[in-house]
Each structure stands twice: as structure tokens, then as C-alpha cells.
Structure 1
């Protein structure tokens, strides 16, 4: 049985992760801690629909960049775990903006805000959970990233003007690498995962995949990931998309940094 903590769980990819994990047998998933900044009607509806609503716990952390707020939230998680460790942290909280123009038209304030939301939150939350993770069995840290953050593939997505998002996700990938080095010898598996272009509020209706499809592939990666993949950047696998035309292919392969 594994316990999961997922940030950005009020909607979209995070909410669907909570839903799909909660549907797995208790022998695989014992509890899911859904982190939100405040009350979420969608999450509350999901919890109330469960035959065992105790498997999902909504933990409100108003500011994921605040070590104090995170410590209070982690303390609540620790109480629910009743002496057991935490197994998996999924850093999913994120935001994306577009710049009307070239990269030099991007306001510094925009870059700073997106960096805080996409990178600083992952650092503060992960750091706050390390002690609990060390007491867990799975010892997994999963950072939700994107191929748009790949330095190798930068020309592939040069048409997209979401510069602050790309930059922040490249930084998150480096954060993954640093945690992989720092905790690898203690049996941790720290990975970046690209969930594909999903039909969420962030991804838009023009995206490639329904959120259920992309999240199912992410869950598959999380469940199957091993210490041999520590420090890797992994792509989801979706049948029929391995050699798709256009910029995105979902082949289950390792993504170049």
C-alpha cells in the first residue's frame, strides 16, 4: 500500500490524478492527500462520491512557497498517516501564461510569478516532505514537467510564446536532477514526467489528449518507476501516438534534457 500527496489537486490533471489513484485497490493505494490552496467544489464532489471517502484527504495549503504554510500542511498529513511514512509526492501545481511578442517582450514580473508557481512551490513542498518520504516505502518524487522544457527540443517548440512556462519547466527538470543526486543513495526515485498536451483549462480544448488518457499514462509511469530510473525525464505512452505527425509524440521513451 502506498500513500500519495498531490499538489494542484483542485482541477485538471491534479484532480484526475486523485480520482484515478483513489480507484486503485487499497493494496496499491492506501491514501491520497490532495493539496489545494482553498476549498474545491470539484474535489469535494469527488470525495463525496467515494465508497470510502477516508481514502482522499483534502489538505489546504494556502501558499506553497511558504515553508511555514507547508510545514503546517505536512503536519496534518503526518497525523493522518499515524506513524507511517509518505510514499509518493507528485508536484503538479503549475500555471502558464503567454507573451504577446518575442521573449524580450516578456515582463520580468511574469517570469518571476510563473517561476514561483512552477518551481519554488515544488522545492518548498518537496523539502517539507523529505523526512516523511524517508520513512515511507516507495520513496518517489514525481515532478510534472513538459517537453517544452527540454533544452534539446527548444527549436521544436519555438513557435509557442509561453516563454515563462518553458523556462520554469527547464528549471524544474534541473530540480529533479538535483534531488535525484541528493537522495538517490537513500533509495529514492526522483523523476520528471511529461503528461502530454491535455484537454484541461490550461491545455485548452485544442489539446491532443483527453485528461483521462494522459493521466492514466502518468499513473502507469508512477506505478512502474524504479530506482533505475532515478533522475530520468520520462514521456507517457499512448497507443497510436508513438509516431504522430506534429510536434508531440507519446512513445513512452526517455525525453532528452
Structure 2
């Protein structure tokens, strides 16, 4: 019975993650904390919570506010006791558009704050809970758009700040993996694919439930032996697509 916390749970990938995790058997998932930056859950999240029979709990976790993050820790400790938090999923993120190109980018600081610094601050605050748990996993939701090796594939996308910060998130994941390998804590960067969400748009490749189902599989099937890797989802028929190949392999940096 594992415990999960998912940031950015109000909508999109985060909401679908909470929903799918909440539907797993009790011997796989005991509780899912749906973390948002708002005091009240969104209408969509509230519906998921109401249907979960107490398995999903909303928690206020303002990821860009250190004091706010710290305030959530005692609440989590009260619910988890001495079992700790098995899986932290750093999902919350932002993506802005810069049609004028990189030189016209004005959102780098804001994007870095959410996509990198907030992940770091959340991880620092919750890591003691993760270290107390049985599974000890931290999952950072990334994207192959943050791959420098694949940068040419995504030249068409006017999202330089998003690409830059996700590349930084990948390195952050590796640094944590190296630092905590001896303590048995698994850190993974996972690309969920281009999914049909508010952020991904309806032009995306896959329905959100398809990509998220794969993210859940990756979380469950990978442990310390995979720590520090950048993993891709696996979708039959998409193994050799361009630019998005969903081959289930490690993505290039």
C-alpha cells in the first residue's frame, strides 16, 4: 500500500494522475494527496475526490512559496504517521509561448521558478517524508522538448523558456539521483508525451489517459536501479514517429 503526492493536481496530467492512482487497488495505493496552489480544489478535482471514498485528499501546497510548502508538511505527517510518503510526483509546470524567438523571451525567470526552483523547494521539504517510506521515489514530470540531443526536432515550437527549464529539470533530477543513491531514494525524469490537455492543446498526439497510464506504469515498474534516468512512455504504433517517438526507452539528454 503506497502513498502518493501529486503537485499540479487541479487539471491536466496532474488531475488524471490523481484519478488513475485513486482507482488502483488498496494493496497498491493507500492514499493520494492531490496538491494544488489554491485553498479549494478545482471543480474537476473535487469530483474525483468525492468519488474516491476517502482515498484522495486535497492539500494546499503553494509550490512557489517556501513557507507555504513548509506549512503542508505537518499535515502530511499527521496523515502518514511513521510510514512516510512513498512517491512524490513533481508535476506542476508552466509553458509560455514566444513567437518572436529566444531573443524575445521575457518569461524565463517565471518559468524557471515554477519548473525548476519550485520542484527543488518541494523536494527539499518533502524528502524527509520520502526517506521514511518503503518505496522512496521522486518523479519529475519532464518532456523530450527539454532534450538537447532532440532540440532540432522541436525547433518549430515557440516555447524556449519551457525547453530551457525542462532541460534544467532533467539535470536537477540527475544531481539528486547522484546525491541520494546510497540512501536508496529513486529520482526519475519522465516524459509523459504530448497529451491533450489545456497546456498540450487538442492538437496533441495522445489522449491524456493514455499518457498518464504509462506514467503510472513507469513509476510502479522502476526503482533505484533506474534512478537518474530520463524515461519515455511506450505506445504501440508510436515507436518510430517524428518528432515524438513513444518507444518506452530512456530519452537522450
Instruction: Give yes or no for the alignment of 1:41 onto 2:43.
Output: yes
User: What does the per-residue CA deviation read over 1:29-75, in whole Å, with 9 as the maximum and x for residues that have no partner?
Assistant: 0110110011211111111122x2x21110012x3122211011122
Quick check: 168-177 or 153-162, which moved more?
A: 153-162
Number of the residue aligned with 1:105: 104
Q: How does 1:44-193 map to 2 (within 5 A)?
A: 44-50=46-52, 52=53, 54-61=54-61, 63-107=62-106, 110-193=107-190
> In structure 1, how many angstroms separate the alpha carbons of the residues matched to 2:75 and 2:103?
43
Deviation at 1:247, TM superposition (A): 0.5
Secondary structure, in 3 states, of the residue corresponding to 1:82? Answer: helix
Secondary structure, in 3 states, of the residue corresponding to 1:252? Answer: coil
Equivalent residues of 2:83, 2:134 under 8 A apart: no
Instruction: Give yes or no for the alignment of 1:200 onto 2:197.
Output: yes
Deviation at 1:174, TM superposition (A): 0.7
Equivalent residues of 2:6, 2:18 under 8 A apart: yes
Deviation at 1:101, TM superposition (A): 1.1
TM-score normalised according to structure 1 size: 0.96
Q: RMSD across aligned C-alpha pairs, in angstroms?
A: 0.9
Deviation at 1:5, TM superposition (A): 0.6
Number of the residue aligned with 2:236: 239
Equivalent residues of 2:82, 2:132 under 8 A apart: no
User: What does the per-residue CA deviation read over 1:89-119, in whole Å, with 9 as the maximum and x for residues that have no partner?
Assistant: 0000001011021211112xx1000111111
Structure 1: segments with no counterpart, 5+ residues = none
> In structure 1, how many angstroms separate the alpha carbons of the residues matched to 2:34 and 2:208?
17
> In structure 2, how many angstroms separate the alpha carbons of the residues matched to 1:75 and 1:96?
31
Deviation at 1:77, TM superposition (A): 1.0
Number of the residue aligned with 1:251: 247
Equivalent residues of 2:7, 2:36 under 8 A apart: yes
Structure 2: segments with no counterpart, 5+ residues = none
TM-score normalised according to structure 2 size: 0.97
